Structure 1
Amino acid sequence: MTPPTAQDGARERAAWLRVFHDAHDQARTLVCFPHAGGTAGQYFPLSAALGPDVRVLAVQYPGRQDRCAEPAFEDVSLLADEIARLLAEPQPASLPVLFGHSLGALVAFETAARLEHRYGAAPAGLIVSGMQAPYRRTPTRLSGDGEEAALEALLRLGGTDPAVTGHPELRAMILPALRSDFRAAAAYRPGSCPSLLSCPVTAWTGRDDELTPGDVHAWAEHTTAAFHARDFAGGHFYLNGFPPLIVEAVRTAVTRTTGATGQARTRTDV
């Protein structure tokens, strides 16, 4: 078997980690993880707003858009294995902040755990949004195991345009990956990697989401560093389109956490 080349590695990295805008040499790095059924492109407006001071890498999961020919992952742990490997090899010049929403929060958390405990490259920070802390979460139960049930659940949360339901081609494009993502979320159980992090953790939610304050604040138990919690007006997808308030919150969180590993533990709700 021919060993992989540097060019092969670059192609693999480009398939998984999308860069939409240029950043300067000293830019902080933010790695973004989409929600169930989501794509890297949903972080395009955030990348545009944060550049060039923050370099946004948006994860493109297999099984969607230009990766539709690849099988989608139905195991959060295996998905995190792949992403952590790509982020850790070679060792980055500066440690990234990881940011995940909904299912993406679980993938980001598991990726952070692997970076720290397997590769000795703890991220600078972790921002989780719209998700219960791993040991408190109640997996989403669909009314069925098929694609239609997954789409119904996403529509109920406001995660996609209802017009999709009447467009056969769009439905065919998103439903297989969406079903796999919901299966991954339902099957997820923490513990495949040590889950105590040494980086600061920031947890956000929409005020009209179904999460309780306890669900959000329990994320504090996953770090020995600083913990911050905040809520925003809106429901589960309060950050859709990344309006200015959310962009500035992300910018503040990235600035606050970059280089902050090893701080004494504090808890702040802002």
Structure 2
Amino acid sequence: MATAQDLVVVRSRRTANPARTLVCLGFCGGGTGQYHQWGDVLPPEVDLAAICYPGREGRFLEEFAEDWDALAEDATQAVLAAATEGPYVLLGHSMGGWMAFDVTVRIERLGGRTPEALVVSSANAPSRGLTPQDMFPAQQDTDEQLLAWMTMHGMMPDHVLADPDLQELALELMRADIRVRDTFHYVPGARVGVPLHVLTGAQDTVIEPNAGEQWRELALGEYRHDVLPGGHFYTPEVWAQLPNRIPALGGVFSTS
């Protein structure tokens, strides 16, 4: 029987004696499902978990977070719960990249178990602040525009597209996340001491040309930046194999 914690920390892969767990934080409008496919490509000694935000999946009956701070606090407690089972690497994509950075900063300040490495995917450095470039999809987008964006990025399975009620729920979730994202604020001086690995897409028009240098300023320790083929979600092939691009999952952190 699932516990309350199981609904927050969704573990889609468990091994007998894991060396570490890849813990994933969702992007705008997303859930945990987009990460489950990685269970087949992870190193054999690595488990997989994703954090479920309020208002979706097993937490459907909960209210959506009201703002960024509320969601970040919820995510911080969830990651700390996941950390009780051993070493972990924390990953966030897009809005989840900022969330993963913020959560790591909060855990370091609390003195909790920090990740072995922080992996930020497809996100500009938060120190530049929230700009219109980062605010996509946007609050003013129509339902049709949001549905098209979610469909293009693989967030709308066929059974959702075929059901108007499920489409409405998906749109509600997306708009809730957009409202939270648009309250993001960078705390001046916030940096992380854990190894920081930044991934960006070569054709991602959202990412600034000097994003790597900006992220480097936020890393007190080891740092690497890899540019991958494709746009904001890379190519489908790269996304499906993304864990293979993360050396920290094998217990090493190379800066080259």
Give the match for residue 171 of structure 1: 167
Note the alpha carbon deviations across 1:221-240, whole angstroms, 9 max, x for none: 22211111011111111165
Cα 1:82–1:143 change in 2 (3 A) is: closer
Unmatched segments (≥5 aa) in structure 2:
none
Cα 1:57–1:244 change in 2 (3 A) is: closer
Aligned CA-pair RMSD: 3.0
Q: Write the letter of the residue equivalent to 2:179.
A: R
Give the match for residue 90 of structure 2: 98
Q: Give TM-score scaled by structure 1 length.
A: 0.80
Q: Once the 2 structures are TM-superposed, how far is the Cα of residue 74 of structure 1 from its aligned partner?
A: 3.9
Note the alpha carbon deviations across 1:125-177, whole angstroms, 9 max, x for none: 10001111101242416261775564455457x35349666641231121111
Instruction: Please say if 1:55 is aligned against 2:51.
Output: no
Q: 1:131–1:216: 8 Å Cα contact kept in structure 2?
A: no
Cα distance in 2 for residues equivalent to 1:89 and 1:166: 37
Give the match for residue 34 of structure 1: 26
Give the match for residue 255 of structure 1: 250
> Which region of structure 1 is more displaced relative to structure 2, 13-22 or 136-145?
136-145
Q: Once the 2 structures are TM-superposed, how far is the Cα of residue 65 of structure 1 from its aligned partner?
A: 2.9
Any idea what SS the aligned residue of 1:135 has?
helix
Q: Once the 2 structures are TM-superposed, how far is the Cα of residue 57 of structure 1 from its aligned partner?
A: 1.2
Q: 2:22–2:88: 8 Å Cα contact kept in structure 1?
A: yes
The equivalences for 1:103-252 within 5 A come to 103-136=95-128, 137-138=130-131, 139-140=134-135, 142=138, 144=140, 150-151=146-147, 154=150, 158=153, 160-161=155-156, 167-191=163-187, 195-210=190-205, 211-238=207-234, 240=236, 245-250=241-246, 252=247
Cα distance in 1 for residues equivalent to 2:103 and 2:13: 23
Any idea what SS the aligned residue of 1:100 has?
strand
Cα distance in 1 for residues equivalent to 2:55 and 2:135: 21
Q: Once the 2 structures are TM-superposed, how far is the Cα of residue 217 of structure 1 from its aligned partner?
A: 3.0
Cα distance in 1 for residues equivalent to 2:185 and 2:228: 28
Q: Once the 2 structures are TM-superposed, how far is the Cα of residue 244 of structure 1 from its aligned partner?
A: 5.8
Q: 1:130–1:236: 8 Å Cα contact kept in structure 2?
A: yes
Q: Write the letter of the residue equivalent to 1:134.
A: P
Cα 1:216–1:179 change in 2 (3 A) is: farther
Q: 2:243–2:249: 8 Å Cα contact kept in structure 1?
A: no
Cα distance in 2 for residues equivalent to 1:254 and 1:14: 23
Instruction: Please say if 1:88 is aligned against 2:80.
Output: yes
Q: Give TM-score scaled by structure 2 length.
A: 0.84
Q: Write the letter of the residue equivalent to 2:33.
A: G
Any idea what SS the aligned residue of 1:202 has?
strand
How many residues get paired?
250
> Identity over the aligned pairs, expressed in percent?
28
> Which region of structure 1 is more displaced relative to structure 2, 110-119 or 61-70?
61-70
> Which region of structure 1 is more displaced relative to structure 2, 21-30 or 171-180?
21-30
Cα distance in 2 for residues equivalent to 1:90 and 1:182: 26
Q: 2:118–2:194: 8 Å Cα contact kept in structure 1?
A: yes
Instruction: Please say if 1:45 is aligned against 2:34.
Output: no
Q: Once the 2 structures are TM-superposed, how far is the Cα of residue 45 of structure 1 from its aligned partner?
A: 1.1
Cα distance in 2 for residues equivalent to 1:221 and 1:122: 19
Cα distance in 1 for residues equivalent to 2:178 and 2:237: 22
Cα distance in 1 for residues equivalent to 2:165 and 2:242: 32
Any idea what SS the aligned residue of 1:213 has?
coil
Any idea what SS the aligned residue of 2:210 has?
helix
